[in-house]
Each structure stands twice: as C-alpha cells, then as structure tokens.
Structure 1
Amino acid sequence: MKKTLPIAMSNRHIHLSQKDLDILFGEGYELTKFKDLSQPGQYACEEKVDTVGPKGTIKGVRILGPVRGESQYEVSVSDAFALGVKPVIRNSGDIEDTPGVKLVGPKGEVELDKGVIVAARHIHMHTSDAEEFDVKDKDIVSIKVDGPRGLTFDNVLVRVSDKFALEMHVDIEEGNASGIKNGDMVELVK
C-alpha cells in the first residue's frame, strides 16, 4: 500500500530572535499574526523587512512567528545569488558557518553575521504518523512525485514531534521544478 502525504512549497522568509525584533521594530515589539501556517503554533506575520546582501536587496520579506532563539533567513538558491551570498543548504536551525545579511526594519537595522540558509527538504511528522509510516526522527527517506514533471526527491529528512502536523516542505524552486501545488499528495519511499 502506498504511503502518501501532502507537500508544500516554502518561499523566502525570516525567523527572528526577540533581540533582533526589538532592534528592527522597537523595544518590546510583538509580532502581529497575518495567518496560521500548517504547523501548529506557527504563523505568518504582518511584519516584513528588507534584506541587503553584498550584491543586492530583497524588499518586503515576511517574518514568521513565533520568535526564535536565533534569527534565520530561509532563501532559494536564486535569492542567494541575487543577494550575493553563497547558497548553503542546511536543516532549519543549523546556521553555523553560513552567510549573513543586513536586515532593515522600520526602527533599525541588524547585521546578521550568520543565518542565511537554503532549507533542506524535510518532512514534519506527528509521532503517530511516524509509527504509521514506520520511520523515526532524523531518518532520511525519498519522496516520489507523480505527474508530467514527476521526479524523486532523495535525501529528505524526517522530523518527528508530537507538536508537528504531517507535511513535506520543499523550497519554491524545487516545488516549481516538480510541477507540484501546495497540498498535492506525494509518496514516501524508503
């Protein structure tokens, strides 16, 4: 029996620490929820910032909440080239030895010395989903995409938590290359 799950594309976005949020928007600032995301407790914010790299600027980059311990800017490979930084593919949270950029907000600017990543493809799974799919946290699997531009995504990290909802995430370029739409069903292949 096929084991399928929904897939979604992730566009560029920023996760901010409270310290950086305070500098960019003012001391004690709280993010304003724009809409909930598929993962419980995660949301897109009304707030946006401009990002400035050695070669170019990307304006109006959406912030995702809630705040995190360290700031992280997730981009596509094309975004990295536009900014003039080396595209480094990493799992979320793994920001050591990654490039930085300048963030420009309405009240101030922050120079990130690290934190710009191309997010590695990954699957969020609730613990009950992991049992059903017979996988565990940090397993590496493949995902088969059907259709006219069908392909297989290899090296997909499985992340398991009782706080997650079942969904695979790829960046916008990977999603467009495979012809998927948010919510399409894909097959997990071990």
Structure 2
Amino acid sequence: MASAVRAGSRLRRAAEGRELEALPQGLRDELRAALASEGSLVPFSLLRSLHAALRDAGSPLRLHELLEGSEIHLPEVPVPPRNPELVARLERIKARLANEEYRRMTRDVTGRETNGSLAEFGRQVRSVQAVVITIFNFLLTVVAAFACTYLGIQCVFAETAARVLSAVIVASVVGLAELYVMVRTLEGNRGKL
C-alpha cells in the first residue's frame, strides 16, 4: 500500500524558496530532510501536517498545487518464498492434467485408424449394396411387367407385334412409376446420406 509521494519539481521549489516561510521551522526542516532523502519520498503523515499548517497559516498555497508533478510511490511487495512441497505437488497435478488432456485428444486416433477405415469401408459397402439392390429391383419389376403383359394379352392380340408393343408400353409406365418412387425415396433420405 502506498505510504509516500515521490516529490515533484513544484514541491521542491516551494521547499527551497520562500513560499513556505509561514510554516513552523520544524515542519520545513522535516520536509527538506524528506526531499533530500533517497528518492525524495515524502510520507503521507508529513503531507497531512503540511496541509494542516498551510490551512492554519492562512497561506494562499494549496496542497494539491504543491503536489503537481509528484507521483505516488508504490513500494514493491516482497514475494514470499514458495513452499517446495506445494510447488512439487502443483507440478505433479499439472503433469497429470496434461497427460489426461493428451489421452483425451489422442483416444480416438489409434482406434479410428484401423477401425475407422473398416467402418468407412463397411459404410461404403452398405451404400453400394443398397444401390445394387435398388437397380436389381427396378430391372426385375420392369422385366416382370413386360413378361406379364406379353403373356397376359395373348388372348386379346394374336399378332406378336401388337403384344410386344403393348408389353413395352406397360413396362415403360411401370418403369416410370418405379423411377418416381425411387426419386422420392432418395429425396427423403438425402439428409441421411
């Protein structure tokens, strides 16, 4: 905590000159001794006495005018020596926390390196498998629609060209309907891909 002021040029001039002649001789000598000391430190108690003496003497000088350019002296706080047991304990705790943080950061690195690639491979296989099944289902549906129409319309049309044409039309309509259903399903699953 501050207990002194490092005197500025204004306070020095006042102490050396005739501005403080109205003050008691003992107070002036004490102020000069403080200004002559190392660092020109003037204690707060002396400043309080100076302020009271200026007020009692009816001097036109004010303390804040005398302290212009002065700085509050903040003494350095002595740092107590650290307990070696405490320092060693703190170092052990820091090392343990650093190891835990390192393990947490690298926990998934080794596991995902082998399992991650296998998991990714499995995911890709399932995706390809779903696409192959969808294409197989589409082709099977179109071929089945064509065959059913070709064989089922045999009673109505005796000519082969008419039966093939009607089977192609029905297979195309079934194929377009199947494509429509696939596209709608893919749009619905787009967020899951």
TM-score over 0.5 for the alignment? no
Question: TM-score, structure 1 length as denominator?
Answer: 0.17
Q: Which has the higher contact order (CA 8 A, sep 6+)?
A: 1
Question: Which structure has the larger Rg?
Answer: 2
